[in-house]
Chains A and B, each alone.
Chain A
Amino acid sequence: EVQLVESGGGLLKPGRSLRLSCTASGFTFTDYALSWFRQSPGKGLEWVGFIRIEAYGGTTEYAASVKGRFTISRDDSKNIAYLEMNSLKTEDTAIYYCTREHSYGYRSDYWGQGTLVTVSS
């Protein structure tokens, strides 16, 4: 069974940093890109970014709203993806989801349950 479990969310002040983790199981981790999405309270879905598999250089892409502040990485030996968030702003408050991205259609076919990040002074 494919599972993705996010962790690391919490309450913190603007300007601080936080690292989220996404622990995967039930599939060959190295075969899939990993994506992060977020959803602010009562709002729609927003793509944050993704990391490709090592065969494609493990390169990353980011939304303009987080580029330069957020970094996605992966540890293929542990089946974990990370979202490092720096210089957090109040508008980063959201539930953060990680997903497995299938190469056919680049679909996010499995989602974690999400972890809440609240940025407030």
Chain B
Amino acid sequence: DIQMTQSPSSLSASIGDRVTITCRASQSIGSYLNWYQQTPGKAPKLLIYAATRLFSGVPSRFSGSGSGTDFTLTISSLQPEDFATYYCQQTYSVPRTFGQGTTVAIK
């Protein structure tokens, strides 16, 4: 199975901050990497797919980069609605594995 490791596990940030979350795969997954956002009590929402592509309706302050084994999700200017948990997921192979999640909290 491909292991996905996110860092950090949690972070505190202020409105307007630039936030970066990293995700590392245990083997090369090309660009088969998705990012999801989950707020408490809600289902996850797709933010970024194929490592760099912004899903429809997602604000442009979200961006993704990387390929192979190292990936990054960046929020350019944190907004109040962005306080949530973020997960990366590889879809290169089965089982489709997730990172452990990164919780973004208010500083």
Select one of A47, A104, A109 contacting B97, CB under 8 A: A47
How far, in whole Å, are A114 and B44 apart by their CA atoms in the complex?
Answer: 10
Interface check B89, CB cutoff 8 A: yes
Most central of A108, A109, A113 by chain B CB within 10 Å? A108
Is A106's beta carbon under 8 Å from chain B?
yes
A46→B43 contact, CB < 8 A:
no
User: Residues of A within 8 Å of B, CB-based: how many?
Assistant: 21
Assess the B43–A44 pair: CB atoms within 8 A. Answer: no
In the assembled complex, the Cα of A110 lies from the Cα of B44 at a distance in Å of 9
Q: Which of B20-28, B45-53, B68-76 contacts A (4 or more CB under 8 A)?
A: B45-53
Task: State the Cβ distance, B57 to closest chain A Cβ, in Å.
Answer: 11
A105 touches B94 (CB 8 A): no
Asked if A11 is at the interface (CB within 8 A of a chain B CB), the reply is: no
A interface majority secondary structure: strand
| Distance of A63 Cα from B94 Cα, bound (Å) | 8
- CB pair B45–A106 under 8 Å, yes or no, is no
Whether B50 pairs with A107 at a CB distance below 8 angstroms is yes
Do the beta carbons of A108 and B34 come within 8 Å of each other? yes
* CB of B98 closer than 8 Å to a CB of A: yes
Can you report 13 A-B residue pairs in the complex whose CB atoms are below 8 A from each other?
A35-B96, A44-B87, A44-B98, A44-B100, A45-B98, A47-B89, A61-B94, A105-B49, A106-B91, A107-B46, A107-B49, A107-B55, A108-B44
Q: What 20 new A-B contacts, CB under 8 Å, besides A108-B89, A114-B43?
A: A44-B98, A45-B36, A45-B38, A45-B44, A45-B89, A47-B89, A47-B96, A47-B98, A61-B95, A64-B95, A102-B49, A105-B91, A106-B91, A106-B96, A107-B34, A107-B46, A107-B55, A107-B91, A111-B45, A112-B43
